[in-house]
């Protein structure tokens, strides 16, 4: 029986609570890239500004930021068993699956890392696919490639992510987006980009998915 639709989820910050680990790794390796470790003030900037604004404010080149991001992901891959699933997300995903929706993951992390995490957290049976693509400042292209490769039905897809670039990428790719406020970016920043829905905790996600497919945008 075909699915009623597909929910595609970002991994870091949407499924896995990785922010504190990422910041700890950043602070450890920052001197190698001629950068200062971040404190509480800078930490809040990460949560309240878009990537383009951070590049400008921290005076860091896109190339250095990309190199640093890849280094942080490599370091974090050694600590996957220590990563935490957001509380209540497993129940929410099972409810969505039971309602007849397919589930997938789109990530700039590696498939191996994501698969290891979902195996540890007993989520493997929920997901139809994991798609990995390098997406910094160009995620809409990765979304389109994922849709084509997985042969997802046009008009029956919704994406859930925790960053402003998720909203921007979905707009460019022409698919609805649910912004989740439990990850990196603050709710106020996410709301300013007018996502189709906002979920403030995982228990709200099933209803937000239903609203996208049945009732249209509700903010």
Angle at 211 between CA 210 and CA 216, to 5 degrees: 135
- Residues 100 and 198 both lie in one domain: yes
- Residues 182 and 209 both lie in one domain: yes
Please give the pLDDT value at position 216: 53
- Residues 136 and 37 both lie in one domain: no
Please give the pLDDT value at position 108: 86
* Of 185, 195, 14, the residue nearest 106 (C-alpha): 14
**E strand intervals along the chain:** 5-10, 16-17, 84-85, 101-107, 129-132, 157-161, 177-180, 197-199
CATH number at residue 202: 3.40.50.1000
pTM of the model: 0.90
Q: Domain boundary residue among 81, 101, 117?
A: 81
Over range 118-144, report the average pLDDT.
90
pLDDT tens readout for residues 80-121: 999 999 999 999 999 999 999 999 999 988 899 999 999 999
Domain span holding position 23: 19-81
Query: What is the domain count for the chain?
Result: 2
| Residue 215 pLDDT greater than 80, yes or no | no
Total residue length of the chain: 219
- Residues 26 and 123 both lie in one domain: no
Please, which pLDDT band fits residue 12 given cuts at 50, 70 and 90? Answer: very high
């Amino acid at each position: 029986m075909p699915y009623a639709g597909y929910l595609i989820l970002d991994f870091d910050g949407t499924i896995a609570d990785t922010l504190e680990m990422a910041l700890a790794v950043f602070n450890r390796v920052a001197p190698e890239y001629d950068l200062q470790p971040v404190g509480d003030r800078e930490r809040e900037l990460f949560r309240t500004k878009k990537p383009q604004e951070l590049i400008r404010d921290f005076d860091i080149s896109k190339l250095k930021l990309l190199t640093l991001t890849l280094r942080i992901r490599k370091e974090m891959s050694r600590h996957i068993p220590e990563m935490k699933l957001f509380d209540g997300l497993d129940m929410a995903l099972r409810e969505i699956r039971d309602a007849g929706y397919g589930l997938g993951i789109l990530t700039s992390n590696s498939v191996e890392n994501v698969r290891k995490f979902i195996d540890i957290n007993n989520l493997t049976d929920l997901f139809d696919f994991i798609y990995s693509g390098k997406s910094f400042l160009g995620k809409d292209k990765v979304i389109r490639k994922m849709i084509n490769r997985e042969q997802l039905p046009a008009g029956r897809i919704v994406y859930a992510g925790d960053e402003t670039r998720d909203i921007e990428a979905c707009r460019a790719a022409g698919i609805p987006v649910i912004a989740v406020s439990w990850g990196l970016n603050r709710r106020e920043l996410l709301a300013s980009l007018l996502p189709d829905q906002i979920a403030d905790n995982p228990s709200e996600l099933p209803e937000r998915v239903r609203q996208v497919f049945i009732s249209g945008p509700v903010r």
